[in-house]
Amino acid sequence: MTSSARTLASTLLEWYRRARRDLPWRGTTDPYRIWVSEVMLQQTRVAVVVPRYEAFLECYPTVEALAAADVEDLLSSWAGLGYYRRARMLSDAARRIVREHGGRFPRSHGRIRDLPGIGDYTAAAVASIAFDQPIPALDGNALRVLARLADERRPVRAGPGHAAVRELAESLMAAVPKGCRGDFTQALIELGATLCTPGAPRCGACPWQASCAALSAGSVESVPCRPARSAPKRLRICAGLAVAGQDILLRQRPADSGIMPGFWELPQALGGRADLRETGLALPCGGGPLATFRHAITDSIFTVRVYEARPGASSDRACEWVNLAGAKELPLSTITTKALARCAMFVRGAKPRDGRRQS
């Protein structure tokens, strides 16, 4: 890296103003809108987020509207964005903002960071973009760009490599003129998302090519270094599908569950068919699975088998018969959504049951 922080900052800002994508959360300094965009963009592609962002803001245009929202409605409107815990945290944080800050988004990085579900990165992004505070926001894109700029060979997600990259980010941010800190935050992320990508970066179009230490050292492909990933865990899940007429038996996950709290799912258990009996379901003798499919999450790959089932004497108390059409309006777990899609023929052919109870 050869240029001064001031030159690097101004070169990047100039490029950003010329080349940035036209995205709906650009050009606003409303902290609520910026916060919603940052939460949606966590681990979800921009192309998926754009239409959902606008629809979400039509439903919940202010932090007060979000705070007043029914959580089940909110989870339904979050469907397709994944990681439903983020939607619950949005609701919790909105309620805290209304209760403790009179509906005004807190301005300081520390107070934003104190809100439920907001980490260092999101707090810094909101503080710099909405309030022009000189606090660098380091997501994966920004870390990669800065690691390459400095040819930082150590891992940059944590430890001394991260500290070195953060120091560089702070020195660059300190050189950004007032009124431009939000643009700088977005420019760094934009550079990582569009040119300085993980594979095949387009260095020939990069505003920092003359100063990039990794480019001059020929190490762009290997920086930042990737920590060795452990192999994903392989697990089995069995789910029971009890159907009567247009009703299916579902259970709701507890509100304090660490995973998908409040979501509805088919009764299920980790393990093989015999383990499904722990849900209290009765299983017809010897039947093979109605469907088998794979479901992958961050560090695990599940093989899911769905079996025909009937409610047993000791069925899980959280189970309820739910009308199939109504079930589609509920927040359903992804495994259950996949299972119902794969068992659609079986569900349609089921016989009515006696004494039905509608949800």
Residues interacting with ligand SF4, by CB under 6 A? 145, 148-149, 195-196, 201, 203, 206, 208-209, 212, 214-215, 220
235 φ/ψ sector (left φ>0, alpha ψ -120 to 50, else beta): beta
Displacement of CA 179 from its chain's centroid (Å)? 30
CB of 144 to ligand SF4, least distance (A): 8
> 54 an active-site residue?
no
User: DSSP assignment, residue 223?
Assistant: -
Which tokens in the block code for residue 32? 């609520």
Displacement of CA 73 from its chain's centroid (Å)? 18
Dist CA 208 CA 199 (whole Å): 17
**Closer by beta carbon to ligand SF4, 52 or else 157:** 157
Residue 282: Cβ-neighbour burial (10 angstroms; 0-12, 13-18, 19+):
middle
CB of 212 to ligand SF4, least distance (A): 3
Which listed residue (14, 38, 190, 308) is catalytic?
A: 38
CB of 145 to ligand SF4, least distance (A): 5
User: DSSP assignment, residue 205?
Assistant: G
**Matching residue, tokens 């695990």:** 300
**Closer by beta carbon to ligand SF4, 209 or else 323:** 209
Q: Strand 319-323 relative to strand 291-297: parallel, antiparallel, unpaired?
A: unpaired
Q: Would you call 308 helix, strand, or coil by DSSP? A: strand
Dist CA 60 CA 63 (whole Å): 7
Q: Phi and psi (nearest 5°) for 262?
A: 80, -5
CB of 8 to ligand SF4, least distance (A): 10
Which tokens in the block code for residue 114? 């104190």
CB of 213 to ligand SF4, least distance (A): 8
Could you report how far apart the first and last alpha carbons of the chain are, in Å? 64
**Closer by beta carbon to ligand SF4, 11 or else 91:** 11
**Closer by beta carbon to ligand SF4, 65 or else 210:** 210
- What is each CA distance from 315 to 261, 309, 335, in whole angstroms? 20, 11, 20
**Closer by beta carbon to ligand SF4, 5 or else 71:** 5
CB of 199 to ligand SF4, least distance (A): 12
**Closer by beta carbon to ligand SF4, 155 or else 262:** 155
Q: Would you call 300 helix, strand, or coil by DSSP? A: strand
Catalytic residue annotation:
38
